[in-house]
Structure 1
Amino acid sequence: MDRYDKQILAILQEDATVPVAEIGERVGLTATPCWRRIQKLEEAGLILKRVALLDADKLNAGVTVFVSVRTSQHNLKWIRQFHGLMASIPEVTELYRMAGDTDYLLRVVVPDITAYDRVYKKLIQGAELADVSSSFAMEQIKYTTALPLDYA
């Protein structure tokens, strides 16, 4: 990956709707070689997909809850069941398996505490859990989907 690829990725991370000709102009390439580079980045799996980022507040999903989950079950059957449960709850927007005291960390988006309580009940009814701890975000200071490109 050279500087052109990094510049192209930086532009696409900010706005995937920028026309190829404009991307090429901004990085110093004509449209055709720029398009070929984008295609190669997609084929290589560096560009996974192009999406629209939505305004959570305008969609009445402005409350973010970080949920720490611990379990005493550490077997494949439980893992598959838990992962399936998480996939079935649209309010769970991120799910991480962790090292340390917490087994899983979830990011949940909802309109209010009542809606979160419904998610919480789905969680505790759908999986055998040792502990569930919830932290409500008071303010979002930084949010980005852009990955750092200096390590590529």
Structure 2
Amino acid sequence: MKKEKPSMQFDSTDLTLLKHIQSDGRISNSKLAEKVNLSETPCWRRWKKLEDEGYIDQYRAVLNRKKLGFNVVGFTQITLSSHEEENTDLFEQFVAQTDWIPLCHCVTGTFDFLVQVVARDLDEYYERIHQLRRVQGVSALHSSVSVKEIKNSSLLPLD
């Protein structure tokens, strides 16, 4: 895995700008300019440069999982029978096409992947785990169901 280094130098204004944008992707340029003590045109230029350089990947809404009826969140450790490219590719393709897996990481240690699974209830969660079990190359699953969400954030520590 190639480690990316910032291609531009950030000053405190850039970092403050990024903090505000990651907290509120719908912030207006005029409001952002006010918060970072710039006039609107220089603020917009900095914002646009950060987008163009790839520091801002996308803008999206964070939906309320519980209000939408997704009351169960689980974390499943996946072990593959082998690390042949065919197995890993099949598993990664399944994950990429499955909307009830919002998060997946290939990890080091005693298992190969850690996935987050969302479901409306335990019956649906069981069915989803059963689908994971049937993916070719999966040899073992260990699941834990979350009983309380303490923190759920995608904000990066820009200090």
Q: Specify the TM-score bucket, using the shorter chain as the normaliser.
A: over 0.9
Contact 2:101–2:117 (Cα < 8 Å) also in 1: yes
Q: CA deviation at 1:115?
A: 0.8
Q: CA deviation at 1:128?
A: 2.1
| 2:27 pairs with 1:44 | no
**Structure 2, unaligned stretches of length 5 or more?**
1-9
Q: CA deviation at 1:21?
A: 0.6
2:30 corresponds to which residue? 21
Instruction: Report the residue type matching 1:108 in the other structure.
Output: V
Contact 1:72–1:130 (Cα < 8 Å) also in 2: yes
Residue by residue over 1:119-151, the C-alpha shift from the partner in whole angstroms, topping out at 9 and shown as x without a partner, is 11211222222210110011111121110113x
Q: Find 1:143's aligned residue among 131, 136, 152.
A: 152
Q: CA deviation at 1:57?
A: 0.4
Instruction: Report the residue type matching 2:104 in the other structure.
Output: L
TM-score of the pair, normalised by structure 2: 0.91
Instruction: Note the aligned Cα RMSD (angstroms).
Output: 1.0
Contact 1:89–1:119 (Cα < 8 Å) also in 2: no
SS of the aligned residue for 1:133 comes to strand
SS of the aligned residue for 2:134 comes to helix
Q: Percent identity?
A: 30
2:133 corresponds to which residue? 124
| 2:64 pairs with 1:55 | yes
| 2:123 pairs with 1:114 | yes
Q: Which 10-residue stretch deviates more, 114-123 or 95-104?
A: 114-123
Contact 2:80–2:87 (Cα < 8 Å) also in 1: no
2:96 corresponds to which residue? 87
TM-score of the pair, normalised by structure 1: 0.95
Residue by residue over 1:38-87, the C-alpha shift from the partner in whole angstroms, topping out at 9 and shown as x without a partner, is 11111111100000000000111131100001112101111111111112
**Structure 1, unaligned stretches of length 5 or more?**
none
Q: CA deviation at 1:93?
A: 0.4
Q: CA deviation at 1:96?
A: 0.3
SS of the aligned residue for 2:87 comes to helix
